[in-house]
Amino acid sequence: MHLRLDQWKHAFKLDPDRELSDEALEKICLSGTDAVIVGGSTGVTFDNTVDLLARIRRYEVPCVLEVSSREAIVPGFDLFLIPIVLNAKNADWIVGQQHGAIKEYGSMLDWKHVRTEGYIIMNGNSAVAQVTEADAQLSLRDVEAYARMAEHLFRCPVVYLEYSGMFGDMEWVRRIRGLLSETRLFYGGGIDGPDKAREAAQAAHTIVVGNAVYSDLEQALATVCAARE
Ligand SMILES: CC(C)=CCC/C(C)=C/CC/C(C)=C/CC/C(C)=C/CC/C(C)=C/CC/C(C)=C/CC/C(C)=C/COP(=O)(O)OP(=O)(O)O
Ligand SMILES: O=P(O)(O)OC[C@@H](O)CO
Ligand SMILES: [Mg+2]
C-alpha cells in the first residue's frame, strides 16, 4: 500500500497503553479518518503495540506506527513515522535512539515505508516534553527556524507541532504552515471536538486527535468531518 501523507487532513492517534473497547475502535476505524497512528510517549511495549495493530487490521483504514521506543518496533504497519525531536535538550531523542534502532534493523528495513517527522514540542508540561527534556520555551522565531531546519536541512516530509494535551496558538500554526513548501504540517494537541478541529484544520495541513478518543468519543468522531469543511 502506498500511503499519501500529503493528502491527509485528519488522523487519530491511538495509545497502545490505554484501553479502548472493540466498539469504540470500530467507530474510529470506520469514521472516515485518513489514518490511524499508533503511538504514545510512555508505556508503549511490543505486546501492547502488536495487540492494537491486530485489532485495527480488521478494518481497511491505513495504520501507521509512530515509533517511540526501540522495544516496540513492530513489523506489519503500512508506514513507520520516526520522530526527530528538534527541541530536545537530550540528543538521544534527536539522533541517539534512531541510531540504535538503525544499527539493529537497518539491514532489513524497507525504507519506502519509513518517514521522518521533525517534531517541535510546544507544551512543556506534556509527558513527551518530560521524556525528551524538551526546551518548550520557544519564541515564534525559534519555531520558524526549527520548521525551516526540518524542511531544508533534514528534509523531513512532516513537521509535527506537538501541543499534546493543550490547544495551541493557531496564528503560530498558520505562520509555520506558510513557511513550508513540500513538507506537511501536522498539528496535534487539545482538539476535543468539531470547533477546535475546524480551526486547527484551517491552520495546519493535517490535524491529529489523540486524548479526545478516550475522554469523549462522540466529540472525537465529529472532528473527522469538521477537518474537511
Ligand atoms: C524490520 C522491521 C521491524 C521494520 C520496521 C522497523 C523500523 C521502522 C525501524 C526504523 C528505525 C528507526 C529509526 C526507529 C526509531 C527508533 C526510535 C525509538 C526513535 C525515537 C523516537 C522518539 C524521538 C521518541 C520520543 C517520544 C515521541 C516524540 C513520541 C511520539 C509520540 C507522542 C508524542 C505521543 C503523545 O504522547 P502521549 O502519551 O499521548 O502524551 P500525553 O500524556 O501528553 O497525552
Ligand atoms: O492527545 P492530544 O492532545 O489530542 O494530542 C494529539 C497528539 O498530538 C498527541 O501526540
Ligand atoms: Mg495522549
Q: What pLDDT sits at residue 108? A: 87
Calpha distance 184→181 (Å, rounded): 8
Distance CA 118, CA 110 (A): 20
Q: What global pTM score does this model have? A: 0.96
The model's pLDDT over 185-201, given as tens digits with 9 standing for 90+, comes to 999 999 999 999 999 99
- What is the predicted ipTM? 0.92
pLDDT digits over 122-134, tens only? 999 999 999 999 9
The DSSP annotation for 194-227 comes to HHHHHHHHHHSSEEEE-THHHH-HHHHHHHHHHT
1 has pLDDT over 60: no
The DSSP call for residue 58 is T
The position carrying cell 490535524 is 207
Which H or E element spans position 162? Answer: strand 158-162
pLDDT of residue 2: 61
Index of the ligand 2 atom closest to the CA of residue 212: 4
Span from the CA of 189 to the centroid of ligand 2 (angstroms): 4
54/161 Cα distance (integer angstroms): 29
Ligand 1 center from residue 210 Cα (angstroms): 15
Residue 41 in contact with ligand 1 by CB distance below 6 A: yes
pLDDT digits (tens, 9 = 90+) for 91-104: 999 999 999 999 99
209 lines ligand 2 (CB under 6 A): yes
Question: Which of the 8 DSSP states describes residue 151?
Answer: I
Helix (H, G, I), strand (E, B) or coil at 27: helix
In Å, the largest CA–CA distance within the chain is: 45
User: How does residue 8 score in pLDDT terms, banded at 50, 70 and 90?
Assistant: very high
Indicate the class that CATH gives domain 7-228.
alpha beta
Which residue among 123, 164, 173, 223 has the greatest number of ligand 2 atoms within 8 angstroms of its CB, and so is best to mutate? Answer: 164
Choosing from 50, 98, 162, 163 the residue with most ligand 1 atoms within 8 A of its CB, the one to mutate for a pocket test is 98
Residue 204 scores a pLDDT above 60: yes
- What is residue 109's predicted lDDT score, i.e. its pLDDT? 87
How many CB atoms lie under 10 A from the CB of residue 10?
23
The domain segmentation of the chain, as residue ranges, is 7-228
- Taking only the tens place, the pLDDT of each residue in 137-188 is 999 999 999 999 999 999 999 999 999 999 999 999 999 999 999 999 999 9
